[in-house]
Chain A
Amino acid sequence: MKKQNIGAILLAAVFIIAGSVIAGSGRATNGEIPAPPAIGTAIEDFMLPDVDGKDHALNSLKGKNGTVLIFIAVQCPVSNAYNERMEKLAQDFKPRGINVIGINANSTEDAAVVKAHATQKHLTFPILKDPGNKIADRLGATRTPEAYFLDANNKLLYHGRIDNSKDPAGVNASELREALDAALASKPIGKTTATAFGCSIKRA
């Protein structure tokens, strides 16, 4: 009788775990992801842990002239194709007062993996983990890489791709860079949104 009870408990546990796994994977749809904020919307300050578990507020990491948030991934070949370009962007614009912050919202990639990947790929800009993809949900982020450029007051100026081509040789439109240059020159941003193919964010 006791054995039967244990068996029943184990079976119930298996069903509960399987159910939660199925429910978790079923949430990975755009239907449940809020639309991204409209251009011009002020993004509320948020707090996320870095790859060592230390919490940082957006306002403590932002640049004096603006901030670029980029949702990135460890395993996505599209995101990885942009590693050098993202690092160069960070290096080029840090002296001009715009800071780049990477955000990893993939539930499949833990902080240790993200840290090792950043070291291996020589990514020197801060990378934050987004547990439960709360900030990805707040910003309506769906893929990697996906960029948000905020001005000094965290107002959204540009949202979308870094440029038009995964292959650096095919780049002929660098909307993100152009947006940064325009903002620094106090000129209107020509294109405030642009899309490209990318890996879906693996939501929790």
Chain B
Amino acid sequence: MRLLRALFLVPIALGLLLTSFAAPAQTQKRRAAKPSSAVRASLPAVTQIDTDALKALLKRESQRPLLVNFWATWCDPCRDEFPDLVKIDQQYGHARLDFAAISLDDLKDIKTEVPKFLQQMNATMPAYLLNVPDPEPAITAVDPKWQGDLPATFLYNGKGEVVYKHFGRLNANELRAAIEKLVGSTQ
């Protein structure tokens, strides 16, 4: 009888023991969930712009050079090159170089896919989404020779002149060299 009781009690004891171990793990999971929900709440802001706003953005009022990258979350080479752009933004800082990342995603993604990707990349540069009924005036305003292929990267000097451009996945060293030429000349 004692043996039977022991056999009956052992699984219960084991169960209780396992529950006591599992409880802190669940608590930890809940604790871990809190920061990620806080991060979700602070997704980077993405500003919607039209062709006129794009033109205004490209018109240099400051003497700082401006780097503009056209990208989209659906564009693989854009996603591939983005870490390099984030590094370049961090390296040269807003005091020496203005930066605008302009997304060509759909407007419905302005509060979801676009800021989520920027957050994943730890991107802090000003971010925009170009929402235009006809893309041609915007493309032509940036560069009449650009056919609209993504990604596309343009570097403007303080006078608003394009001094470097690259279509397709960028070469970070080449871009750095172009920036340093400008940043050096403005110092």
Contact = CB atoms under 8 A, between A and B. Distances in A.
Interface residues of A, number: 32
B47 to A, nearest CB: 18
A142 B166 CA distance: 12
A198 B150 contact: yes
B171 interface: yes
A165 B76 contact: no
A79 to B, nearest CB: 11
Interface string A1-44: 00000000000000000000000011011110001000000000
Contacts of A31: 166-167
Contacts, number: 82
Instruction: Summarize B's interface: helix, strand, loop or mixed.
Output: loop
A75 B168 CA distance: 16
A194 interface: yes
Contact of B167 (A35, A142, A196): A142
A122 to B, nearest CB: 22
Given A164-B133, A170-B133, A29 B166 contact: yes
Nearest to A194: B136
A186 interface: no
Given A143-B147, A200-B150, A25 B169 contact: yes
Interface residues of B, number: 27
B148 A165 contact: no
B136 A77 contact: no
A32 B61 CA distance: 33
A172 B168 contact: no
Kindly name the residue among A167, A195, A203 whose own CB sees the greatest number of chain B CB atoms within 10 A: A195
A26 B76 contact: no
A195 B133 contact: no
A173 interface: yes
B147 A28 contact: no
Contacts of B150: 143, 197-200
B106 A173 contact: no
A46 B165 CA distance: 31
A146 interface: yes
Contacts of A197: 70, 72, 104, 135, 139, 148-150
Interface of B: 70, 72, 74-77, 104, 106, 133-136, 139-140, 145-151, 165-169, 171
Interface of A: 25-26, 28-31, 35, 75, 77-78, 142-143, 146, 160-161, 164-167, 170, 172-173, 194-203
Given A30-B147, A197-B72, 5 more contacts: A29-B171, A30-B168, A143-B147, A172-B133, A195-B139
